[in-house]
Amino acid sequence: MASYDVIVIGSGPGGYVCAIRCAQLGLKTACVEGRDTLGGTCLNVGCIPSKALLHASHQLHEAEHNFAKMGLKGKAPSVDWKQMLTYKSEVIGQNTQGIEFLFKKNKIDWLKGWGSIPEAGKVKVGDEVHEAKNIIIASGSDVATLPGVEIDEKIVVSSTGALELPKIPKKMVVIGAGVIGLELGSVYSRLGTEVQVVEFLDTITPGMDAEVQRTFQKLLTKQGLSFTLGAAVQSVETNKNKAKVTYKLKKDDSEHTIDADVVLVSTGRKPYTDGLGLDALGVKMSPRGQIETDAHWATNVKGIYAIGDCIAGPMLAHKAEDEGMAVAEVVAGKHGHVNYDVIPGVIYTHPEVANVGKTEEQLKEEGRAYKAGKFSFMGNGRAKANFAADGFVKILADKTTDRILGAHIIGPMAGDLIHEICVAMEFGASAQDLALTCHAHPTYSEAVREAALACGDGPIHS
Ligand code: FAD
Ligand code: NAI
């Protein structure tokens, strides 16, 4: 039996970042992980592998669509799917081994196996029970299944199966037009698969700024994805190597079927807390299966904390990381803080989509007086040169104080551009503060400045 200041359960972005910060703050730390490699969902079957496939398939798209226009002639590359999967696996390996290195560097013990909490202050891994003054649960999330749909990870797949398909399918039905469906749908569409997305609601990417939703759907449709909205999937049947998806259109209750080689179920994720023994401990859970925590990530059981996908809030790696760092500060007796009003969201399609803060729809609902400054990438020289002029930047600011309340970007490098607005919001900046900041030319970031100018006397280039 070993004794620790902190034992973190789970080594995803929440858990591993938390463990490293705890060690940096001088706490004797261990991290329990049941997978063969560190890094959780994000590094093994989430953020990183999906971005590798998005990158590779985007390069193909560029070669097929834009190279010849720039005088780069020749046949577009053909796809060696096996090699693309090897590249993806190598990227995963580099990242997961990187965390192992960081654990060693920070003298964090990796307790290999599945952990449970037999009582407060104790963590059991295999046959060994370890003592811990503080236990931090970062056990993450798992795929949420649909009634009538059985995931076999061969024909009917979750994101995990979709990252490992033995071959590129001819036809794929994606259930759910959320982040996973659109990212992985884009990958296969670029590789030549006919992709049909079936979504329960009447818009794609629910909760996102409506103007962005419309532009996004239009651009993805232009790329070849098709959308069936307002459709409730009833069942998926499989027969040998084929699947049949049955859905009902909400507007007239009519029933339809689609045949597919692969069906991707991307209708959300749910907190994963199996096997931890939380019931017996009396840890309070929400009706949605999330561990309930207070403002300092403490559960109702003394000495037990929880962070990341297994608690409330957006299921995002950077949200989990921020909570990991903050709770480490708390258990070290310092002040940990996460500003939940400034957590960006990014969809890594092409173009990228990024948002932070309030949407126009939310501001209207709150009855708040605001102004919207918008600038199209059509007016941005760099975007035009790079065949990336689709999309816009929209900044929302308080009508009276000019303080930035939110931003919505669809366009090139949106996932990077959003951060200058995040920093501005953290500092309580006004749109004018952004507009008065010199931005290098020619960069995509000039579109952010122009949108800020559009909140005042007007942009220059439109
Ligand atoms: P996880 O990463 O889920 O890690 C939890 C870990 O805990 C797992 O490794 C699990 O094995 C381990 N564990 C659980 N229970 C136990 C136990 N009892 N004992 C030992 N170990 C245990 N987010 C983004 O921000 N950007 C993206 O681009 C992005 N892309 C994604 C793409 C896909 C396909 C998916 C599925 C998700 C993506 N996400 C993305 C979401 C992101 O992966 C999660 O928000 C993030 O991983 C949550 O981190 P976490 O530390 O809370 O949990
Ligand atoms: P999601 O919540 O983003 O989207 C699910 C979609 O499925 C919604 O549009 C919903 O209306 C729809 N849906 C639900 N039930 C349905 C039904 N019966 N029939 C048809 N449509 C239905 O969930 P998703 O895409 O599975 O992603 C899970 C989580 O992973 C998200 O919370 C996201 O934050 C995270 N993630 C983040 C990424 C990023 O930050 N780039 C990338 C991938 C995942």
99-120 per-position pLDDT tens digit? 999 999 999 999 999 999 999 9
Q: CATH 3.30.390.30 in the chain: give the residue spans.
A: 345-454
The model's pLDDT over 399-433, given as tens digits with 9 standing for 90+, comes to 999 999 999 999 999 999 999 999 999 999 999 99
Whether residue 1 has pLDDT greater than 80: no
Residue 94 confidence (pLDDT): 98
Give residue 77 CA to ligand 1 midpoint distance, Å: 33
As a whole-number percent, the residues of the chain with pLDDT over 90 amount to 98
Torsion of CA 283, 288, 294, 297, to 10 degrees: 80
**CB-based contacts of 340, cutoff 8 Å, min separation 6:** 313
Q: How confident is the model at residue 244 (pLDDT cuts 50, 70, 90)?
A: very high
Q: CATH 3.50.50.60 in the chain: give the residue spans.
A: 3-143+270-331, 156-267
The model's pLDDT over 5-63, given as tens digits with 9 standing for 90+, comes to 999 999 999 999 999 999 999 999 999 999 999 999 999 999 999 999 999 999 999 99
**Is-contact 171 337, C-beta < 8 A?**
no
Mean pLDDT of the chain: 97
Whether residue 168 has pLDDT greater than 80: yes
Helices 81-105, 13-24: crossing angle, 10 deg rounding = 30
**CATH architecture label of 345-454:** 2-Layer Sandwich (3.30)
**CATH architecture label of 3-143+270-331:** 3-Layer(bba) Sandwich (3.50)
Q: How confident is the model over 283-300, as a mean pLDDT?
A: 98
Residue 76 confidence (pLDDT): 83
| CA pair distance 405, 195, nearest whole angstrom | 36
Q: Which residues are catalytic?
A: 441
Give residue 2 CA to ligand 2 midpoint distance, Å: 40
Q: How confident is the model over 330-341, as a mean pLDDT?
A: 97
- CATH dotted code for 156-267: 3.50.50.60
User: Ligand 2: residues whose CB is within 6 Å?
Assistant: 146, 175-181, 183, 198-201, 206, 232-233, 266-269, 314-316, 346-348
Nearest to residue 449, comparing CAs of 415, 407, 405, 400? 407
The two structure tokens encoding residue 68: 């010849």
